[in-house]
Structure 1
């Protein structure tokens, strides 16, 4: 199929805008600079994007589409499955859009001039609701909001860490945040009574963790090391539970 020249130009404009926004920031990048990089006139840029903020919205659009699809999937699942579908999927989506997400970190409020901001807020609220669960109280909703941040913010600040390592660290952190034994049983020092009784990594996995480990392994997106780091166990433990019963 022959590529549409109009679509090709639009894609080139978006790529150049992403590069220049990353180099100079949104506010300090002009449409003229984008045109000069592509040898296009400002009028040619405006034909595809009537205002500069439309470029920003277009760069956010693929991220939004992926997040909305993730939440649509999770919406059909039982509560506990939906919670971890959202959390694991959120990390994967954020990593898939790592470069534009980092570039837009300081400029994202500018999309508030259009519908994109409202979609971002709706996505965030839907994610919070699915993670917190039905009839959640204040504490559960606060934890849900913290969990979404734990699955997003490190991507912006740890730009030199590989996707696989960062994914494992982020999922490990959010599981620690939402695991009751790590919060409800914590003493004054912040360490749980279970941790004080049995230091080190647990030797076994719960049923839900086993299912998670097998799902991650079957998807082919996580190494055994990454699964072990995510669940806070040894590689040997992961191998034992991945073995056929």
Structure 2
């Protein structure tokens, strides 16, 4: 029964913090929602920050595991991007809770682990001995993973995942603006990364027009590279 009470407190906290905010929700209100006394809540969690720590622990554990796996992968950048995105998708409602009033920063432990993990992720995405531009692009790519998950948390995960990865692929395959302005003749075919993004979007049910718009290419290019698209 004790474990069940703890789980019910955490479920209530996630709902209340998401709807009203961490700071606006009192321990007494959590207790009333769960149907227990305030003392019972404090028995499991001495303070509200301890509730945040408990809510975040599964996500942080998955975060650490994804980064450790990416560090040993043949392509650390790709593994880090996909692994991190999968963690955010799995814990998207916790991230959305944080949008209201930065609830996750209420716990120093959560903040420090999250900060350290993000720095490690940036290093994996930027690559060894990165130039400053590589570090900036890595930070941009990582931000592109979390923001859409928070804003579109109710979108089917497979569809959201495909669209996000397509955007990240565009970031890493896009040519500098000056080079594009100076280019003449027919644009090159899609890169392998962009083609893979197109396939993911097609598998997720997007139309050729949607895919073309997302990837910044023509519909003819999509039909040429995806003969089965309709």
TM-score, normalized by length of structure 2? 0.81
Q: 1:193: Cα distance to partner?
A: 6.0
2:226 pairs with 1:234: no
Pick the aligned partner of 1:187 from 151, 166, 178: 178
Q: Distance in 1 between matches of 2:83 and 2:109?
A: 24
Which residue of 2 is the match for residue 139 of structure 1? 133
2:79 pairs with 1:51: no
Which residue of 1 is the match for residue 218 of structure 2? none
Conserved in 2, the CA contact under 8 Å of 1:225 and 1:235?
Answer: no
Q: CA, structure 1 residues 113+13, in 2 after alignment: closer, same or farther (shift >3 Å)?
A: closer
Count the aligned residue pairs: 219
SS of 1:26's partner is: coil
Pick the aligned partner of 2:117 from 114, 123, 129: 123
Q: Distance in 1 between matches of 2:86 and 2:104?
A: 25
Q: CA RMSD in A?
A: 3.1
Conserved in 2, the CA contact under 8 Å of 1:109 and 1:117?
Answer: no
Q: 1:173: Cα distance to partner?
A: 1.2
Conserved in 2, the CA contact under 8 Å of 1:224 and 1:239?
Answer: no
Q: 1:236: Cα distance to partner?
A: 7.0
Conserved in 2, the CA contact under 8 Å of 1:203 and 1:234?
Answer: no
Which residue of 2 is the match for residue 223 of structure 1? 203
Which residue of 2 is the match for residue 243 of structure 1? none
> Unaligned regions of 5+ residues in structure 2, if any?
216-220
Which residue of 2 is the match for residue 10 of structure 1? 6
Which residue of 2 is the match for residue 163 of structure 1? 157
> Unaligned regions of 5+ residues in structure 1, if any?
241-245
Q: 1:52: Cα distance to partner?
A: 0.6
Q: Distance in 1 between matches of 2:181 and 2:140?
A: 20
Q: Distance in 2 between matches of 1:161 and 1:197?
A: 39
Q: CA, structure 1 residues 10+69, in 2 after alignment: closer, same or farther (shift >3 Å)?
A: same
Q: CA, structure 1 residues 60+193, in 2 after alignment: closer, same or farther (shift >3 Å)?
A: farther
Q: What is the correspondence of 1:10-29 to structure 2 with a 5 Å cutoff?
A: 10-29=6-25
TM-score, normalized by length of structure 1? 0.76
Which residue of 2 is the match for residue 94 of structure 1? 88
The 10-residue stretch of structure 1 (149-158 or 163-172) with the greater mean CA deviation from structure 2 = 163-172
2:34 pairs with 1:38: yes
